[in-house]
Chains A and B, each alone.
Chain A
C-alpha cells in the first residue's frame, strides 16, 4: 500500500492520530501536498460519503472521518501555501432565519468541506440580509446552501431566495436547499437550483453544480 493509500484508509476509518503521523511522514518523503490532499483525503471523504448514501456507514463514521481529515489538513496547511491553490470553490451555508437547528447543516458543511470546498458557515437563524452581505463580500462564492428543519420555517427559505433575487445576486450563485421536511418538489417551487436529502448527496450535488 502506498503512503497515500494508507492516508486514505486511515481517514476513512477515522484514525485521527494515525492520519496526522502519516501526513507528516508523507511530507518528509517529499510527496506532493496537493496529491496528499486530493487523493489521500478528499477521495477518502468521497468514499465515506458513498458508503453513507448506501447505508453502509452512519453519522458517527462520517464524523470521525471528517475529524481525521481535518487533523491531516492542519498538518498539510503550511505546505499548501504559496500558489498551490487547492479550493474547488467557495460555499456559503446557514440555517434560515427563525430556525436554530444545526445538526444537519453542520454535517453538510463537513462533507462539502471534505470534498474540497472552502466553506463559510454562517451558523443558525441567519437573516436574508446576512446571506446577501456575505455573497457581496465573497464575489467568488459559487454556491449557497440553505437549511430548514421545521415545517414552520420552510417559508423562510422562500423569503431568503426571494431576497437574494431582489438584491440582483441570483445569477451569481447556485442555491441548494435541504432539511427534514424539504422535498425536491418544494425546492422546485421556491426556485432553488437543487435539493439534497443527506450530507453526502449535498457534497456530490455541490461538485456537480460547479462542473456544470
Chain B
C-alpha cells in the first residue's frame, strides 16, 4: 500500500496497513523555523529555511526531512504570479519591532527581542461605522499560479505520495472579519448588524471561488485534500452560538466545498481550533471530510467522546498529542503514553491521520518530538 492509497483508505473509514502520518504538510501540522532547525540538527542535515507563513513563522519542510520521518502527505509550494499591488501590503521596522501589513490590510507586529511570531495588532476597517465605510475596502486579487509548478505534485503522485493544499485565500468566513474590523467589532456586528457581515462573506465566497478556480487551472486533478481554516472555538466552547455557526457561517463553507469537490478534489478538511464539538454535526453536514487540529485539551473534545460519537462520519486529522501541555512541557515518557493512548482510540476503523494538535512550536524539546515519532512508528501498524 503506498502513502496515497493509505490516506484514501483511512479517509474512507477503513483500516489501511498502518495509520497515515502527516507532519509538515497539512494545515497546522507544520513546524516553526526554530523547531525545524532542531530537527535538522538531529538528522545532521543542512538546508536553507523556506518560510511559507510569515506571521506564524512556519517553514516548508523539505522532502528529505519528510522522507526520513516517513510522512505520507506532501504540500504544494505555491508560487503566486505577481499581480496588481495591494494598497495595503508593506513591511517596516522601528527600534523595537518588525511590522507587516498584508494585502487584506491586517497589521502584524513581532518584537525584535524574544519575538517568536507576528501577531495581529490592527485591521483596516477597525474604525468603519457602516456599510458605506466597509465598501471602501480594496479587495486583494486572487493570484494565478505558474503551470510549471504542477510537476511537483505530479511527481509526488508518481511515487505514491498523497498531496494536500492548505494555503487558502484569506481566513475563514467567521475569522476573516476579525482581521479587518477587529475581534470585538466583528463579533458584536454578528449580532447587531448581521447584514454587514453577510455582505462581506458573500463577497469573500466569490473571491475564494475565484482563487480556487485559479488553483485548479494549474493543479487540476493532482490535489487529494484541500483545507479551509476557520476557528470556531475557544478553550471552553464555541466563540458564537451553534445557531450562528449553523445559519450564518457554514452555508458559505458548504457552497465552497461543493465548488472544490466538483473540481475533482475528493476530500475537504476544516481546520477549526478549540472546543468545536457543539458544531460538529453541522460541520459534517456542510461536506467536510476531515477535522483538524482536533484540540483534545478543549472542553468536550476527549478522543474517546469524539471517536465514539462522530468517528464514522468524519476523519480526525490531528489530535495525536496535546501541544498545549504534553508535547512542550511533558517528559518523553508522558509523551509516549499519550501518543499511544490517542492512537489506540482514534485509529480504530480508520478515520485517523496522525499529527500533532497544531504546529510544532519553538519550545518543544527535540527529545519529546522524537519520543512521539518513535511511539507512532512502533504502534502504527493495524
Taking Cβ atoms with an 8 Å cutoff, the residues of A that contact B are 14, 55, 57-61, 63-64, 67, 97-98, 100-101, 103-104, 106, 124-125, 150-152, 180-181, 183, 197-198
- The answer to whether A63 and B119 touch across the interface, beta carbons within 8 angstroms, is no
A64-B191 CB under 8 A given contacts A58-B241, A125-B111: yes
Chain B residues bordering chain A, tally (CB within 8 A): 33
Shortest distance in angstroms between A113's beta carbon and chain B's nearest beta carbon? 14
B295 nearest CB neighbor, chain A only? A180
List of B residues within 8 angstroms of A97 by Cβ: 114
Contact A64 B235 (CB under 8 A): no
Distance of B358 from chain A, by nearest CB (Å): 10
Cα A152 to Cα B328 in complex, Å, equals 9
- The answer to whether the Cβ of B192 comes within 8 Å of any Cβ in the partner chain is yes
User: Which of B40-48, B58-66, B155-163, B180-188 sits within the interface?
Assistant: B180-188
Ordered by A's residue number, 16 sampled pairs between the chains whose C-beta atoms are within 8 Å are: A59-B239, A60-B187, A61-B191, A61-B241, A63-B184, A63-B187, A64-B192, A98-B114, A98-B116, A101-B119, A106-B184, A124-B119, A151-B361, A152-B116, A181-B324, A198-B235
- Does chain A have a CB within 8 A of B80? no
- In residues 141-193 of chain B, which contact A (Cβ within 8 Å)? 183-184, 187-188, 190-192
Main secondary structure of the interface of A (DSSP, over half): loop
A-B interface, 8 closest residue pairs, ranked by CB to CB distance from nearest: A100-B119, A181-B324, A60-B187, A63-B188, A60-B191, A151-B328, A98-B114, A152-B363
In the complex, whether B115 has a CB less than 8 A from a CB of chain A is: yes
Write out, one digit per residue, whether chain B residues 236-260 have a CB within 8 A of any chain A CB (1) or not (0): 1111110010000000000000000
Partner of A198, one of B119, B121, B236, B361: B236
Report A-chain residues with C-beta under 8 Å of the C-beta of B240: 58-60
Query: Within the assembled complex, what's the spacing in Å between the Cα atoms of A98 and B324?
Result: 17
Tell me the B residues contacting A by CB distance below 8 Å: 109, 111, 114-117, 119-121, 183-184, 187-188, 190-192, 234-241, 244, 323-325, 328-329, 361-363
- A150–B191 CA distance with the chains assembled, in angstroms: 29
Query: Is B324 a contact partner of A64 (Cβ separation < 8 A)?
Result: no
Which residues from B are CB-within-8-Å of A106? 183-184
CB proximity of B65 to chain A, nearest CB, Å: 22
Please tell me if the beta carbons of B116 and A14 are within 8 angstroms of each other in the complex. Answer: no
Q: Check A151/B329 contact, CB under 8 A, given A58-B241, A60-B191, A64-B188.
A: yes
Q: A64-B191, A98-B115 are in contact. Are A58 and B363 (CB under 8 A)?
A: no
The verdict on A60 contacting B361 (CB below 8 Å), with A100-B119, A151-B324, A198-B236 known, is no
A14 to B190, CA, bound (A): 13
Is B192 a contact of A58 with CB atoms below 8 Å? Answer: no
Are A14 and B191 in contact (CB-based, < 8 A)?
A: yes
Of the candidates B238, B239, B241, B362, the one whose C-beta lies within 8 Å of that of A152 is B362
- In Å, the complex CA distance between A150 and B119 comes to 12
Q: Which of B114, B116, B241, B324 contacts A180 (CB 8 A)?
A: B324
Residues of B within 8 A of A61 (CB): 191, 241
Q: Which residues of A sit under 8 angstroms from B183, Cβ to Cβ?
A: 103, 106
CB distance from B30 to the nearest CB of A (A): 16
Q: How far is the CA of A55 from the CA of B238 in the complex (A)?
A: 9
- Complex Cα gap A59–B120 (Å): 19
Bound Cα distance A67, B184 (Å)? 10
B325 and A181 contact, CB distance less than 8 A: yes
Please name all residues of chain A whose beta carbon is closer than 8 Å to the beta carbon of B328 when the two chains form the complex: 151-152
Instruction: Pick the contact of B121: A100, A152, A183 (CB < 8 A).
Output: A100
Complex Cα spacing A103 to B184, Å: 8
Contact of B235 among A98, A100, A101, A197 (CB under 8 A): A197
A180 / chain B contacts, CB cutoff of 8 Å: 234-235, 324
Contacts A61-B241, A100-B109, A180-B324 known; 13 new A-B pairs at CB < 8 A: A58-B237, A58-B239, A58-B244, A60-B188, A60-B190, A60-B191, A60-B240, A60-B241, A97-B114, A100-B121, A101-B119, A104-B234, A151-B361
In the assembled complex, the CB of A157 is this many whole angstroms from the nearest CB of chain B, namely 13
Shortest distance in angstroms between B297's beta carbon and chain A's nearest beta carbon?
9
Say whether A67 contacts B236, CB under 8 Å.
no
Q: Note all chain A residues with C-beta closer than 8 A to B363.
A: 151-152
Q: Give min CB distance, B79 to chain A, whole Å.
A: 30
User: A139 to B323, alpha carbons, bound, how many Å?
Assistant: 39
Which chain A residues border B192 with CB–CB below 8 Å? 14, 64
Closest to B111 in A: A125
Cα A198 to Cα B233 in complex, Å, equals 13
Instruction: Report chain A residues within 8 Å CB of B325.
Output: 151, 181, 183
The chain A residue with its CB closest to the CB of B184 is A63
Residues of chain A contacted by B114 (CB below 8 angstroms): 97-98
Task: From known contacts A59-B187, A60-B188, A197-B235, infer whether A98 and B361 are also in contact, taking CB-CB under 8 Å.
Answer: no
Once bound together, how far apart are the Cα atoms of A59 and B325, in whole Å?
A: 25
A115–B328 CA distance with the chains assembled, in angstroms:
36
Q: How many angstroms from the CA of A151 to the CA of B32 in the assembled complex?
A: 14
Q: Is the CB of B237 within 8 A of A55?
A: yes
- Cα distance A14–B191 in the bound complex, in angstroms: 9
Interface centre among A57, A67, A125, A198 (most CB of B within 10 A): A125
Q: Are B324 and A67 in contact (CB under 8 A)?
A: no
Q: Which residues of A contact B236 (CB under 8 A)?
A: 197-198
What A residues does B191 contact at CB under 8 A?
A: 14, 60-61, 64
Q: Looking across the interface, which residue of chain A has its beta carbon closest to that of B118?
A: A100
Among B115, B234, B323: residue with most chain A CB under 10 A: B234
In the docked arrangement, what's the CA distance between A104 and B184, Å? 11
**Closest residue of chain A to B325, judged by CB?**
A181
